[in-house]
Amino acid sequence: MYSTGTPEAAEWEGWGTALKPAWEPICLARKPMISTVAANTLAHGTGGLNVDACRIDAEKATGWGGKASGGGTWTDENSGLCKDGAARPVQGRYPANIITDGSAEVEAAFPDANGAQGRVSGQEASASTKNTHGEYKRAASEPRGDAGSAVRFFYSAKADGDDRLGSKHPTVKPVDLMRWLVRLVCRKGGTVLDPFAGTGTAGEAAFWEGCNAILIEREEEYQRDIAKRMSLVLAGPETKKRARTEIEPAEGLPLFGEDTVAHVSKINAREKLFA
């Protein structure tokens, strides 16, 4: 617009063309079905969500024990007395429609949630029953063992150096996030289609989840990033780790603006490593 150092240029110092992409929507959609979800899934192998494969990590077990001999505590199914030290396995939290990057700023925005259940000793009486057994005592249990920000109820993933691999792409997706999304909608052996592949994280995610992938990307710079990423994936984790230490940190491309074309056409010295 104006030459650097001119009064006109100084007037616009500090201005830009876009804000940091700190929020990205993920659209979960499917075309209208003629019949039911079950019928569509049987016919085409798609349509459902693999909830159990995408549960959010929680405590592996909660205290569920009680003294069978002295406590008189019955199991929650009334199938017999609880054994000492018995534990109830936990599947994990049901996946929500919010995913965070796990950053301190996001964590601070959520309130503290220290648990929704109080401790049960096993000596509390239940409501009276209309049979010869009288009152059953409640099974002993412990409250939810974790505490802190409620952000832990949501899946979190953030791109790191292993995800970026020197790419200048402004919105590199975490491979862990893409693996989670692939697991959610695609069965083993299925095919993932990404029409805007970027740096190819969907392709890598599909590889690790046992799926096929079709990637489409217009920009040559990002096509090279995809080829680089997949060659490292096939070479193995040690090669990828070694390559990361040899790649210079990259400054991100602007999300919008005329200088994007100039950046895309540049060949950085970091590419010599993969020539």
Q: Structural domain boundaries of the chain?
A: 52-156, 158-274
Task: From 199, 145, 134, select the one nearest 171 (Cα to Cα).
Answer: 199
> CATH homologous superfamily for 158-274?
Vaccinia Virus protein VP39 (3.40.50.150)
Beta bridge partners of 62: 88
pTM of the model: 0.62
Task: Tell me the pLDDT of the chain (275 aa) as tens digits.
Answer: 556 678 888 888 888 888 877 778 899 988 888 888 889 888 888 888 999 999 987 755 444 444 444 445 555 555 555 454 455 556 788 898 888 877 777 777 777 765 555 555 556 666 655 556 555 565 555 455 555 666 666 666 776 777 777 788 888 888 999 999 999 999 999 999 999 999 999 999 999 999 999 999 999 999 999 999 999 999 887 877 777 666 655 555 544 444 443 333 333 333 433 33
Mark residue 87 as left, alpha or beta (left: phi above 0; alpha: psi -120 to 50; beta: remaining). beta
| Angle formed at CA 206 by CA 200 and CA 210, multiple of 5 degrees | 155
Percentages helix, strand, coil for the chain, rounded to the nearest 5? 30, 10, 55
Report how far residue 90's alpha carbon sits from residue 32's, in angstroms, rounded to the nearest whole number: 35
Token pair recorded at residue 167: 């790419």
Tokens 């790191």, residue? Answer: 160
